């Protein structure tokens, strides 16, 4: 009885909120935050989460939480330094360019598939990340022009699909 009443109140509150903000349902789903992290003057650098699954139309926001370094989140795409494409063919490339500590950059992703990106100055330190939008049509990409340390940094597509979020192990 008590649980039922609590549920009723909760539902009522939800209805009130919906009426107060009638545009809420038309907005994209909530923003997904990815932190740029580092320690010891760049000895270790990483994205956290390093892997995440989102819905089509959802916005991803990178924020630099590393007081000691500037970082980028740059799509693997020919438009960025002629790199091998590792985002869906129909997707738009992005490059945050250098984000100073405290700065952020957002991208809204639409096309389903696997999106791999990297930090320009720290790719060779393994600072890479992977986003999956909706249902990926493939298991990922080949080795392309990536250094081994970057290839090792991507969580498996199957792990991201199974867990939704893969936290970085670099900061532990
Ligand atoms: Cu970096």
CA of 156 to the centre of ligand 1 (A): 21
Omega into 49 within 30° of 0, i.e. cis?
A: yes
Label residue 85 left, alpha or beta by phi (over 0 means left) and psi (-120 to 50 means alpha). beta
Residue whose C-alpha is closest to residue 30's, from 66, 3, 60, 53:
60
What integer pLDDT is reported at residue 94 of this predicted model? 98
Average pLDDT for residues 10-33, to the nearest whole number?
50
Please write the tens of the pLDDT for every residue from 138-170.
Answer: 778 999 999 999 999 999 999 999 999 999 988
CA of 98 to the centre of ligand 1 (A): 9
Tell whether pTM > 0.95. no
Domain 5-9+29-166 has CATH 2.60.40.420: yes
CA of 65 to the centre of ligand 1 (A): 11
Rounded to whole angstroms, the Cα distance separating 164 from 117 reads 18
CA of 64 to the centre of ligand 1 (A): 9
Please write the tens of the pLDDT for every residue from 75-96.
Answer: 999 999 999 999 999 999 999 9
Reply yes or no on whether the pLDDT at 22 is more than 70. Answer: no
Domain boundaries, the chain: 5-9+29-166
CA of 21 to the centre of ligand 1 (A): 38
């Amino acid at each position: 009885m008590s649980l039922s009443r609590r549920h009723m109140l909760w539902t009522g509150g939800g209805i009130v909120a919906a009426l107060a903000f009638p545009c809420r349902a038309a907005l994209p789903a909530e923003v997904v935050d990815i932190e740029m992290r580092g320690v010891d003057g760049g000895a270790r650098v990483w994205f956290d989460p390093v892997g995440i699954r989102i819905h089509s139309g959802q916005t991803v926001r990178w924020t630099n939480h590393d007081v000691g370094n500037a970082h980028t989140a740059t799509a693997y795409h020919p438009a960025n330094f002629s790199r091998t494409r590792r985002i869906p063919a129909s997707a738009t490339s992005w490059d945050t360019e250098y984000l100073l500590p405290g700065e952020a950059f957002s991208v809204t992703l639409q096309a389903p598939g696997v999106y791999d990106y990297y930090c320009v100055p720290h790719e060779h330190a393994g600072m890479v990340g992977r986003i999956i939008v909706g249902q990926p049509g493939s298991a990922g990409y080949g080795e392309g022009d990536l250094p081994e340390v970057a290839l090792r940094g991507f969580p498996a597509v199957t792990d991201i699909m199974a867990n939704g979020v893969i936290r970085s192990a670099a900061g532990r």
